[in-house]
Amino acid sequence: MWSALKGRVSNRLARHFRAAPHRLPAHAPMVSFTFDDAPDSAAGEGAELLERHGGRGTYYLAGSLIGRPSEYWHGLSDDAIVRLHRAGHEIACHTFSHRSSATLDEAAMAREIERNRSHIHGIDASIQPQNFAYPYGIASVWRKPQLARAFRSARGILPGVNSGIIDLQFLRASPLIDREIDTAGIDRYFNDAVLSGGWLIFYGHDVTDKPSPYGCTPHLMRHALEAAAKRNMPIVTVAEALQRIGA
Ligand SMILES: [Zn+2]
């Protein structure tokens, strides 16, 4: 109970403290599509849709879920990871075990980071993950500075557009999840991004006609990709976006 409370408080504090502030330069808006865990359909249909629209995605992988079945999907295979990497998609990190950062002390987090990196490295030695996403979107005020030393950025699931002064260690991301958003909601985020000249990041999991509670249909994803095209917004990986904003 106490530790659950501590975790919640730490997550809340993480929004405001120990930030890695970065002022977004006056910039044309851009969008990133990210997938967590990641299901094989994100590497299949998801990647295909992105590529057809001239974009690439960022895949935040937990080594322990790669190639494994779970409640809602089958984890992507080693071969799929290599294919994504060679096609220009970004391979990035969750924790290895998918444990929340709020439950890990410094030594445990260090082991998670090391184990995940070496697992991914073992699949293809040319993959060098640079970015992190908090499992369950739960940040920790204590782990933020540690993650900042290990990765260029950390992404949460706090919705909204990243604009003005952004926190590189708690990037905002909006759901690409049928249960949480519809096409009108997606359009609103795109309009906000155009108005603010900001960086819009979507997060999701599976991409399939009958998605899990955490995934989307190809229809919803296609809508988002076409919304980007209509507004001439480049579809870039998180690594590419960071380069563009000089972070
Ligand atoms: Zn996850």
Q: How far is the CA of 67 from the centre of ligand 1 (A)?
A: 15
Residue 158 corresponds to which tokens in the numbers above?
Answer: 């706090």
Rounded to two decimals, the pTM is 0.94
- Residue 122: exposed, middle, or buried by beta-carbon count in 10 A (0-12, 13-18, 19+)? exposed
Cα–Cα distance measured from residue 184 to residue 215, given in angstroms and rounded to the nearest whole number? 17
- Cα separations (Å) of 239 from 32, 89, 102, 245? 10, 10, 25, 10
Peptide bond into 38 cis (omega under 30): yes
Element (H, E) at 228: helix 218-230
Q: What are phi and psi of 34, to 5 degrees?
A: -125, 150
Q: What percent of the chain has pLDDT over 90?
A: 86
Cα–Cα distance measured from residue 175 to residue 55, given in angstroms and rounded to the nearest whole number? 18
Q: How far is the CA of 209 from the centre of ligand 1 (A)?
A: 21
Q: How far is the CA of 26 from the centre of ligand 1 (A)?
A: 32
Cα–Cα distance measured from residue 140 to residue 109, given in angstroms and rounded to the nearest whole number? 11
Residue 201 corresponds to which tokens in the numbers above?
Answer: 């990041």
The Cα angle at residue 22 between residues 20 and 25, in degrees rounded to 5: 170
Model confidence pLDDT, tens digit, residues 162-185: 999 999 999 999 999 999 999 999
Q: How far is the CA of 137 from the centre of ligand 1 (A)?
A: 8
Model confidence pLDDT, tens digit, residues 113-146: 999 999 999 999 999 999 999 999 999 888 999 9
Q: How far is the CA of 78 from the centre of ligand 1 (A)?
A: 18
Nearest to 104 by CA among 138, 59, 57: 138
Q: pLDDT value at position 172?
A: 97
Q: How far is the CA of 233 from the centre of ligand 1 (A)?
A: 27
Cα–Cα distance measured from residue 202 to residue 204, given in angstroms and rounded to the nearest whole number? 7
Mean pLDDT of 101-119: 96
Q: How far is the CA of 129 from the centre of ligand 1 (A)?
A: 16
- What residues are paired with 162 via a beta bridge? 199
CB-based contact 172:14 (threshold 8 Å): no
For the chain, which domains are there? 2-244 (3.20.20.370)
Residue type (1 letter), 241: A
Q: How far is the CA of 36 from the centre of ligand 1 (A)?
A: 5
Q: How far is the CA of 205 from the centre of ligand 1 (A)?
A: 8
Q: How far is the CA of 94 from the centre of ligand 1 (A)?
A: 7
